[in-house]
Structure formats: C-alpha cells, structure tokens
C-alpha cells in the first residue's frame, strides 16, 4: 500500500444498509406503492424483518444512525404502540401469513425498550407471521445499558444472535466519542447472553475514530477476540457533520487520515490470532496492517468470522464483572 494508491482509492461509496440504498429513495414510492408491492409477493416468499428503535439514553459523537435521546419512557412507549400497529398493517397487505426466517432489531438502542415491551413486540410478530423454528433473531446491544431483564426477555423470545457494540477500547478514544465502556463490562454481558443460551455473538468495532492509530485498533481487536466471538464486524467511521451535527463536536485535528494511518502503522510480526484465521475478506482499510489483519479471516461483508466456536463461560451475577 502506497500513498498514491491511498489517494486514488480513498473515495466515498454508498453504504449497503438497505435496498434500495438511500440515494435511490424517491417521493414517487408512496404508501399505495408499498401496499401493492406487499400484496404482490408470492405466498411462498420467506421474509426477513427489520425493526428500528430510534432512541438512545445518550448520543455518541460518532453516531450516524437515525436516533434521538429519550429523557423519559413516554416517547418509547408511544413508539411501541405505533410499531405494533405497523406490524399489523403490513401483515394485512400480505397475501398470506408469510414465513419469516430472519428478524433483526436495530437502532438506536433496541434494548432501551423494557423487557415487557420486547416480549410484546415479539408476540405480535409471532401472531402476524409464521416465524420459523430455526429463524435467526438478532439484536444490537449497548453493553452499558442492557440488564439481566433484557437478556432474559430476548432469550425467552428466541434470540439467537447478539451484536455487542464496542467500537474501540482505548480510553482516550472512548472519552472523545462520549462512549465509556470497559472490556470487563462487555465481557459480563457476553457471559449473560451465553448462559441464557444465545449462541451467536458479534462484536462491532470501528476504525477511523479520533485519536485512533493502527496500533490502538489492533489492540482493540486483540482484546475483543479474548471473548471468543464467532463474528467481528469492523466498520469504517463515516464523518458527515453536515448531516449529523453532533459529529462536529469531535476535535477535527484528532481524526486520523489515510496518510497519518500509514505513517503511524507499526512494523511488527503478524499476531498469533491472525495466523490462526483462514479465508478472505472484503474489508478495506487505509492502513496496510489493519487490512492484512483482516485478510486471513473468514468474512461476510464487513464481518470477520472466527474459525473456532465460542466457549461458554460460567454464569455471572448482575453485579459481578468478568475478569477475562
């Protein structure tokens, strides 16, 4: 990787987070268009459902998601009512009680909903659709705010995969992006989930944040792998302060650039965890070392899948931190 190549390929590209992608959204697609699309589906079509919860307890300065801070539970409770109604309306337009193979809770912070409301929405989905017995049910989790009640509610509703949002473990990076979260805190939630029978564990990491270096990102990855996740999702930070004004609160001079990442990339042997992985990757990073760290991993899109299965730790109490 040379500075010339970095300059050539350091370009903005659309993010595949929905289909059609956001640049293709048009006013011509109105409610009647959507209703017609639903009614024209084949009854044999297997569905994937996405539920978005646009609320957080606080706003992280890197966030580009559609969310807002909820100071009380009132707006969240109102949203749950509307979400339940929308599920009913969508099901009414379908030609049959359709089969569902994937359900994903995103946000925002899905677990800002109470355990009772999480169960309530899952019951509504089960009444409106035919959820496969082996359907993947996944949720994005903020380890700083989730409780045992949430874990029990989700596990009891069939949760099979949890994505623990970490981003970065470096204290200076965490302080700058307003997201303080220790490795022990994350490990505790991972242990709760595994003890509850949730077999799939993702760790979500991010590069391109203020004060990150190639070395600090690699340290975070190595710490994350101590939890034996079966998948790591490594995302590139999107700096769009003209759309998300809170991002402008980050110190501009602290944001890494492709050239600074190259200049600060340490020259050291490939770590043992990297040598233990096999496969190929679609992850692209401005740092040659981070990119090579991912090149030997099995991946799907931005996910690095470990070749070894996770181990199941001993159960932890609500107050007992993990030492892993």
pLDDT band at residue 82 using 50, 70 and 90 as cut-offs: very high
Q: What is the mean pLDDT of residues 163-171?
A: 96
- Please compute Rg for the chain using Cα positions: 21
Q: Supply the pLDDT for residue 281.
A: 28
Q: What is the mean pLDDT of residues 111-131?
A: 97
Token digits of residue 221: 């990855």
pLDDT, tens only, 34-45: 999 999 999 999
pLDDT band at residue 292 using 50, 70 and 90 as cut-offs: very low
* Bigger pLDDT: 298 vs 250: 250
Which residues does 151 contact at the CB level (< 8 Å), separation at least 6?
189, 192, 193, 196, 198
Domains and CATH numbers, the chain: 45-257 (3.20.20.70)
Q: Supply the pLDDT for residue 3.
A: 74
Q: Please provide the DSSP assignment of 90-120 as one string.
A: HHHHSSS--EEEEEEEEES-GGGS-HHHHHH
Query: H/E/C letters for each residue in 160-171?
Result: CEEEEEEECCCH
Query: Is residue 104 scored above 60 in pLDDT?
Result: yes
Asked if residue 278 lies in contact with residue 296, where contact means CB atoms within 8 angstroms, the answer is yes
Angle between helix axes 74-93 and 115-128 (nearest 10 degrees) is 10
Asked if residue 92 lies in contact with residue 132, where contact means CB atoms within 8 angstroms, the answer is no
Which residues does 210 contact at the CB level (< 8 Å), separation at least 6?
173, 176, 177, 250, 251, 254, 255, 256
Name, of 7-16, 196-205, 311-320, the range with top average pLDDT.
Answer: 196-205
The C-alpha atoms of residue 270 and residue 264 are separated, in whole angstroms, by 16
Q: Supply the pLDDT for residue 21.
A: 73
The C-alpha atoms of residue 275 and residue 117 are separated, in whole angstroms, by 44
| % of the chain surpassing 90 pLDDT | 64
Instruction: Give the 3-state secondary structure of residue 56.
Output: strand
Asked if residue 128 lies in contact with residue 74, where contact means CB atoms within 8 angstroms, the answer is no
pTM check: above 0.95: no
Asked if residue 304 lies in contact with residue 206, where contact means CB atoms within 8 angstroms, the answer is no
Q: Supply the pLDDT for residue 37.
A: 93
The C-alpha atoms of residue 225 and residue 220 are separated, in whole angstroms, by 9
Asked if residue 99 lies in contact with residue 132, where contact means CB atoms within 8 angstroms, the answer is yes
Q: Supply the pLDDT for residue 29.
A: 85
pLDDT, tens only, 203-232: 999 999 999 998 999 999 999 999 999 999
**What is the separation of C-alpha 25 from the centre of its chain, rounded to a whole number of angstroms?**
23
How would you classify residue 197: left for phi > 0, otherwise alpha for psi between -120 and 50, otherwise beta?
Answer: left
Query: Is residue 17 scored above 90 in pLDDT?
Result: no
Q: Supply the pLDDT for residue 14.
A: 64
Q: Supply the pLDDT for residue 147.
A: 96
Q: Supply the pLDDT for residue 238.
A: 87
Which of the residue ranges 65-79, 189-203, 289-303 would you say has the lowest mean pLDDT? 289-303
The C-alpha atoms of residue 277 and residue 31 are separated, in whole angstroms, by 47
Which residues does 261 contact at the CB level (< 8 Å), separation at least 6?
213, 214, 285, 286, 287, 290
CA torsion sign for 86, 69, 161, 282 is positive
Name the strand (E) or helix (H) holding 44: none
Query: Is residue 90 scored above 70 in pLDDT?
Result: yes
**CA terminus-to-terminus distance, the chain:** 35
pLDDT band at residue 310 using 50, 70 and 90 as cut-offs: very low
Neighbours of 320 (CB within 10 A): 12
Q: What is the mean pLDDT of residues 28-57?
A: 94
């Amino acid at each position: 990787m040379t500075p010339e190549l970095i300059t050539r390929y350091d370009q903005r590209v659309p993010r595949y987070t929905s289909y059609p992608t956001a640049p293709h959204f048009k006013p011509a697609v109105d409610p009647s268009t959507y209703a017609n699309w639903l009614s024209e589906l084949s009854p044999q079509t297997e569905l994937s459902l996405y539920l978005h919860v646009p609320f957080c307890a606080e706003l992280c300065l890197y966030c580009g998601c559609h969310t807002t801070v909820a100071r009380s539970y009132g707006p969240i409770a109102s949203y749950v009512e509307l979400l339940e109604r929308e599920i009913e309306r969508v099901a009414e337009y379908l030609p049959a009680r359709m089969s569902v193979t994937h359900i994903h809770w995103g946000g925002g912070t899905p677990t800002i909903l109470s355990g009772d409301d999480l169960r309530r929405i899952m019951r509504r989905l089960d009444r409106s659709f035919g959820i496969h017995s082996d359907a993947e049910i996944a949720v994005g989790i903020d380890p700083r705010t989730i409780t045992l009640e949430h874990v029990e509610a989700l596990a009891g509703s069939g949760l099979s995969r949890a994505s623990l949002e970490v981003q970065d473990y470096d204290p200076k990076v965490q302080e700058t992006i307003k997201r303080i979260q220790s490795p022990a805190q994350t490990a505790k939630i991972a242990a709760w989930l595994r003890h509850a029978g949730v077999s799939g564990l993702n760790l979500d990491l991010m590069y391109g944040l203020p004060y990150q270096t190639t070395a600090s990102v690699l340290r975070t990855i190595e710490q994350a792998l101590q939890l034996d996740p079966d998948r790591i999702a490594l995302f590139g930070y999107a700096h769009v302060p003209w759309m998300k004004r809170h991002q402008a609160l980050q110190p501009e001079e602290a944001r890494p650039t492709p050239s600074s990442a190259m200049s600060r990339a340490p020259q050291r042997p490939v770590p043992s965890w990297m040598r233990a992985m096999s496969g190929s990757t679609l992850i692209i990073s401005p740092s040659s070392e981070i990119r090579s760290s991912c090149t030997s991993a099995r991946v799907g899109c931005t996910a690095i899948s470990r070749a070894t299965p996770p181990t199941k730790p001993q159960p932890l109490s609500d107050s007992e931190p993990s030492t892993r």
